[in-house]
Structure 1
Amino acid sequence: MKSVVIIIGILIIAVYVSPLYKSKINLGNIFGIILGTFVIICSVFFEQIKKIYTYPAGKILIILFFGLFIIFLTLFFITLFKIINAIKCNAKNETTVIVLGCRVKGSVPSKALVKRCRAAAEYMKKNQKAVAILSGGQGVDEDISEAECMYGLMTSCGIDKERLIKEEKSTSTYENMLYSKQIIDTLDLSENIAIATSEYHMLRAKMYAQKVGLIPYSLPAKSIPILRVAYFTREVFGIWAMKIKKALQK
């Protein structure tokens, strides 16, 4: 039994470490590595933990720790379910599309950014009245803004440049929505928006859209399979951080 648990711990670590050859380490990877290590440690030192449990103080500490751990996992999976539930594509005939920026390597788009633009382009070909706000500023390691990179991708997909609006100031998801809302107000565009972003990012994007007064619908882009576990995990903590920040501002 101990060997089985150790193998499970190693597999958890492997699942969260394997994406690192394609992306930078994030909170999702860190959490998975810690979780896998925790499983292995509990298995290896199971007998010692049992001895500690025989003492009253040790028993209280262990029950408290694992009780909190169960609460943590319960909240984690509830949030994860909400993230997954937000993925379902429900954008139909919205005439305003917001395409969210993603990493640009110099001037070369990341695969995630390409997928977001393709999802938006396919939607706009079916909805000829739709216009797209390409939202994303320029990072310190980017030669061009993410909006400029998306502009090139969208036009190469056959979308007329007259239907594309660049928003190049934003540096976060909240700013994506805030500055896009300003453009929507200025140009008198529809506040019913289709958000084109990676599937794991959809819930947080929709929450920020609602915060600035927009009515969001999902237009998800498939993420790279090997990255999904780590990125979905990261989003759980992103949602929690967003809610904590909101609570502290009240």
Structure 2
Amino acid sequence: MVLLALAIICALVYVVLRRRDRRMLRNGVLLLATLFFAVLGVTELAMVRFPAIEVVVVGAILLFPVGIVVLAGFLIANGVRMFRREGRSLGNMLSLIVGVVLVVVTVVLVLLLRSGSTVGEAALLLLLAVAGYVGIVFLVFLLYAVVYGRVAKPREADVVVVLGSGLRHGEVTPLLRSRLDKGLEVWRHSTAQGRAAVMIPSGGQGSDEPRPEGTAMAEYLVAQGVPESAVLPETRSRNTDENLRFSREVQQAAGVTGTVVVATSNYHVMRAAMLARSLGSPAEVVGARTARYYVPSAFLREFVAVVAAHRIAHAVALAVVVAVWAWIAVIALT
């Protein structure tokens, strides 16, 4: 009952904090804690009433390493597919890299476990501490990114910002088109409700692009029926942070006020929402569907970017985790 009580407390705090601001990743921490304590609590009660379930629980624990190997295989296969379809780049090969790392870590863990030496056991505990921390942080990010993108999505706005994602031969790519179509969905619903909504396609000109992304995006929107007077392109930005900042400048220069919704890809919603909050913008973010094969590397890329943006906090937290595990190791090995 204690575990279920903890789950209820975490759930209540999650609801309160989420109502204050949906865009904070700490909501994900509370959501994961709620699920963790709820699963443990229900399992505990079930084992008391049905002792045979203990066999299932033990079997699930023993199959966990198999699950890691299966996940590694999936990521490696996905990485090879990304390489073939999207080309050789660090971002496109992240799933392949993580899959190989998982295999290497699993092999190292097995070797350390079989070593039987004190040094090997200490190294095993250290590796488990680091891997466990990274795994939990990723679960928090992935879980809340999915929840944020799917639950209570905003459908109306006075300003719809669409984030750029690169052009191909100066034209809108399928990935960028999906973002524009998601923005159009919000804009059309808003105008149908009587709002004089405007759209801000946001994206500058990359070194390999013949024109700014915002210009090509604006052409697409007009071709889809948006009046030219309602399209305010932003053509200076080079990254998501600048997309949001420069789009707000365009909005302010045009004297447009009201609710702001940002349209991007589904894997990008969490980081875009966090950046919007850090800039003091009240904007919420909606995500467009992305090709399935593209999602694993894209989510990993977003995770790396979020961790890098808060690297000092994560470094301190990881140092504390390692210190605690080291203390436990000293006690266990003495």
Normalising by structure 1, report the TM-score.
0.87
Cα deviation code 1:125-173 (max 9, x no counterpart): 2222110111100001111110011011111211111100011110010
Unaligned runs of 5+ in 2: 1-62, 316-334
Amino acid at match of 2:93: N
- 2:93 is aligned, of 29, 42, 65, to 29
Which protein is bigger by CA-based radius of gyration? 2
User: Match for residue 49 of structure 1?
Assistant: 112
2:132 corresponds to 1:70? yes
Whole-angstrom CA distance in 2 between matches of 1:192 and 1:4:
44
Whole-angstrom CA distance in 2 between matches of 1:42 and 1:34:
12
Q: How many residues align?
A: 246
Unaligned runs of 5+ in 1: none
User: Match for residue 223 of structure 1?
Assistant: 290
Note the C-alpha offset of 1:107.
Answer: 0.9
Change (3 A) 1:191 1:57: farther
Structure with the largest fraction of helix: 2
Indicate conservation of the 8 Å contact 2:260/2:282, yes or no: yes
- Runs (4+) of structure 1 exceeding 6 A deviation are 1-5, 245-248
2:197 corresponds to 1:130? yes
- Bigger shift: 128-137 or 217-226? 217-226
2:217 corresponds to 1:154? no
- Bigger shift: 89-98 or 70-79? 89-98
Change (3 A) 1:83 1:159: same
Whole-angstrom CA distance in 2 between matches of 1:105 and 1:48:
48
Indicate conservation of the 8 Å contact 1:197/1:220, yes or no: yes
User: Match for residue 182 of structure 1?
Assistant: 249
Determine what percentage of the aligned residue pairs are the same residue.
21
2:169 corresponds to 1:106? yes
- 1:144 is aligned, of 211, 218, 225, to 211
- Bigger shift: 212-221 or 62-71? 212-221
Note the C-alpha offset of 1:117.
Answer: 0.9
Whole-angstrom CA distance in 1 between matches of 2:165 and 2:112:
45
Note the C-alpha offset of 1:191.
Answer: 5.0
Amino acid at match of 2:131: F
Note the C-alpha offset of 1:211.
Answer: 2.4
Change (3 A) 1:15 1:207: same
User: Match for residue 211 of structure 1?
Assistant: 278
